[in-house]
């Protein structure tokens, strides 16, 4: 039996040259609508950028995967807080994202640290965004709160 893909959509419009132009990003749900530009990506101008959106997607995907793994193991979490640091590096022919560092802190009743770390590493490897980013080095620092 073949399953049907779930398809999500994001739309971007860019106007102008790369240094002085600007763009808008929106999602199908309408919950995300933001401007971006050279300045929001490479300086501290107000607005978003592709790397922080990638980080948000990855942190959200990982946190849900970890919650599912913990719940299946009989330890539903009270909370999971995850931060993704997305590295953007200039290389001779442009830019790359060589590394994403996930840092998570979770409150999970009744689990020991070894099992928690095992499930966290499995969630990092198994979440769909991690799988899509296989060309990127993804690290995880997982802390179980007391």
State the CATH number of the domain containing residue 56.
3.30.300.20
What integer is the mean pLDDT of 82-95?
96
Give the chain's length: 146
Tell whether 54 and 118 lie within a shared domain: yes
- Name the percent of the chain in helix, strand, coil, to the closest 5: 30, 35, 30
Residue whose pair of structure tokens reads 């995967």 in the numeric block: 65
* Number of compact structural domains in the chain: 2
Tell whether 61 and 108 lie within a shared domain: yes
Report the percentage of the chain scoring pLDDT > 70: 100
Tell whether 38 and 54 lie within a shared domain: no
Beta bridge partners of 96: 89
| 128 — pLDDT class (breaks 50, 70, 90) | very high
Tell whether 70 and 130 lie within a shared domain: yes
pLDDT for res 130: 96
Distances (CA, A) of 77 to 7, 31, 59, 65, 135: 28, 26, 16, 12, 30
Tell whether 9 and 80 lie within a shared domain: no
Task: List pLDDT tens digits, range 55-80.
Answer: 999 999 999 999 999 999 999 999 99
Q: Does the pLDDT value for residue 1 go beyond 80?
A: no
Tell whether 66 and 121 lie within a shared domain: yes
Tell whether 97 and 118 lie within a shared domain: yes
Tell whether 136 and 70 lie within a shared domain: yes
- Domain of 16 in residue numbering reads as 1-48
pLDDT for res 2: 79
Q: Does the pLDDT value for residue 124 go beyond 90?
A: yes
Q: Does the pLDDT value for residue 123 go beyond 90?
A: yes
Closest CA to 78 of 108, 105, 111: 108
| 3 — pLDDT class (breaks 50, 70, 90) | confident
| 143 — pLDDT class (breaks 50, 70, 90) | very high
Mean pLDDT over each residue of the chain, to the nearest integer: 95
Tell whether 57 and 102 lie within a shared domain: yes
pLDDT for res 146: 85
Tell whether 37 and 64 lie within a shared domain: no
């Amino acid at each position: 039996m073949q399953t049907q893909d779930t398809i999500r959509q994001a739309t971007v419009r860019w106007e102008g040259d790369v240094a002085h132009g600007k763009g808008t990003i929106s999602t199908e749900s309408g919950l995300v609508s933001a401007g971006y530009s050279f300045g929001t990506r490479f300086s501290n101008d107000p607005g978003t950028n592709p790397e922080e959106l990638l980080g948000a997607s990855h942190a959200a995907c990982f946190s849900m995967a970890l919650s599912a793994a913990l719940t299946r193991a009989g330890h539903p979490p009270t909370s999971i807080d995850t931060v993704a640091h997305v590295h953007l590096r200039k290389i001779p022919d442009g830019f790359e994202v060589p590394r994403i560092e996930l840092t998570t802190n979770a409150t999970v009743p009744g689990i020991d640290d070894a099992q928690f770390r095992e499930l966290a590493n499995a969630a990092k490897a198994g979440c769909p965004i991690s799988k899509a980013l296989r060309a990127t080095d993804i690290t995880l620092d997982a802390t179980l709160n007391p």
